[in-house]
Amino acid sequence: MKINIQKANEYIANHRHQVVNQYRGKLHLLPPIGWMNDPNGFVYFKGEYHLFYQFHPYDSIWGPMHWGHAKSKDLLHWEELPVVLAPSETYDQNGCFSGSALVVDDRLVLIYTGHVEAGEERIETQCIATSKDGIVFDKYVGNPVISQEQIQRIADIADFRDPKMFKYGNIYYTVVASKTADSRGQILLFESTDGFNWQFKSVLLEGNQEEGIMWECPDLFELDGKWVLMISPIEMKRQQYQYWNINSTLVFIGEIDWKIGRFKVEHQHEVDGGLDFYAPQTCVNDTGERYLVAWMQMWNRTIPSHELGHGWSGMMTLPRKLSIKNNCLYQEIPRSLFQQLDVQGKIILSDKEAVLRLENSVRQQQYIRLELEQLGDFELQYAKNEHNQFIKIAYSQKNQILEFSRVGVGYAIKGKEEPYSDTRYMRLTSLNEPFILELARDTNSLELFINGQTMSMTFYEKKFAHDLVLKRENNFIKGCLELYNIS
C-alpha cells in the first residue's frame, strides 16, 4: 500500500501547478488535483475535524479510488494532508471505495469498501485501516472484516458498500448499503464488540420500487431524541418537486427497535432540493453538535472544469449544522462562516420600489441575507450579466414554491435525467415570519438556506457577472437585503 500512496502523493506534488484556479472556490474543500466525489470518514479526532474523500489524483474523471484527506479546526479553513488509502491488496485492488471513520481506543479507525473486478464479476467487501496519529494508516491484517459470505441470500455481493460505523451503548454498529434481488435499496446492519470482528444482525430498512434501484452512502445517528437514517438512492422516481436528480438523497426520521434491528420510519423527505448534492455524511464534535457535508456534484453530468482541461472536478458543500425541527432535518450555515463576513451593504426595502437594481454588487465570495416581514412573491436575479442571464431565485406565494435555476448561465451542464432540467423547485414548509433567505456563494457554487431547507448548485460563468436585481410583487411588505463579502 505504501508504494501506491507514495506514488499518488508524488504525482500530486509534481502536477498540482497545472491545475487552473478560475472556478475553484476559497471556502469549500476541493481536491488539490484530479477527481473528488463522496465524503468519507468525517470525524472529530484530537480537537480537529478530519474529512476523507473519494479521490482519483491522476485525472479529473472518475478512476481507481484512493482516499484523500484534509483537516480543519473551524470547518471553513482546510489543511490538505497526504493520501491515506490506495488500491494495493487482493481485496481492494480496483478501488478503496467509500466508508467512514471512528475513534476506537485513541486510534482512528477507517472502514471502507474494497472493490474487486474479476472479469464480469464484481465483489465488494468491508475492510479496515488504523492510525495512531490520524495521518498514516495501516490496513488491518484481518481484512476483509465483513465478507460476501456473511450476506449470501441476503444481498447482492456486487453492490455491497459504503459502511458507516458508530458506537451505541457498548456495541459497535456498521450500516452498509445494498440492494435486494429485485433491485430495491436496502440497508444492512452489522454489530461488533470490538470494532473488528463483525456479525450480521439484520436488514435495518428496505425500500420500495419507487425509492431507487440501489441505496448508497448510509449514515445512521441519533439527533434530538430521534434516529435519523440518510441514504443516497440511485434512480429514485420523481415525486412532484422532489428527487429530480438521477441520484437523490433521502432522510428517514423515526425510531429503531434494537432487539430486532429494524428502523421504523415516521417521516421522510429529500435532504437537499438543488442540482448538485450527493452522498452526505455527518460528524459529531466534542460538544455534541452534528454537522453534515456532501459531494457538491452529481453523477452522469458534464463537468466544465474537466471539459475545459482545468485538471480538477468535484468539491464538498459547506458543512451544515443539523437539528430536528417540525419533524424535518433542519440545516444551518456553520457559525464559523459569519466570523469571516465584511459588511458590503444593508438596504431597507422601500414600499416605493418594486424593483431594486444593485449594479456591481456581486462578489465571488459572498453571503446574502434577505428578510421580509411577510412572505410574498419575489424574484432575485443573482449574477446578472449584459445578456440578461442570471441565477434565478423566485418564490410563488400561491403555490408556496421556491424556484432555483441556472438556465442559460455560463457553460452548459447536461445530465442523464429525462427530461434534463437546470431548474429545481422546492415546496416551503413551516413558513415562519419574518421570512429569511440566506445565500452563500463561493466562485462556482451557490448554497441556499431557507427555513432549514437547502438547495445547492454549481455554475461556470464564461464571464464574471456583477449585478443583482430584486423584484417584489407586494412592495408594501417591509424587509431588508444585506450583502457581505466573505474574507
Catalytic residues: 38
Burial (0-12, 13-18, 19+ Cβ within 10 Å), 346: exposed
In which element (H, E) is residue 382 found?
strand 378-384
Look at the block and give the residue holding cell 486510534. 107
Q: Is there a cis peptide before residue 144, judged by omega within 30 degrees of 0?
A: yes
* Closest residue by Cα to residue 381 from 452, 467, 459: 467
- What is the DSSP-derived secondary structure letter of residue 163? E
Beta-ladder partners of 335: none
Coil/strand/helix, residue 332: strand
In sequence order, which residues have a C-beta less than 8 Å from that of residue 314 and are 6 or more positions away? 30, 31, 35, 36, 37, 295, 296, 297, 303
CB 193 within 8 A of CB 219: no
Between CA 314 and CA 297 the distance in angstroms is 6
CB 217 within 8 A of CB 177: yes
Rounded CA gap, 481 and 273, in Å? 24
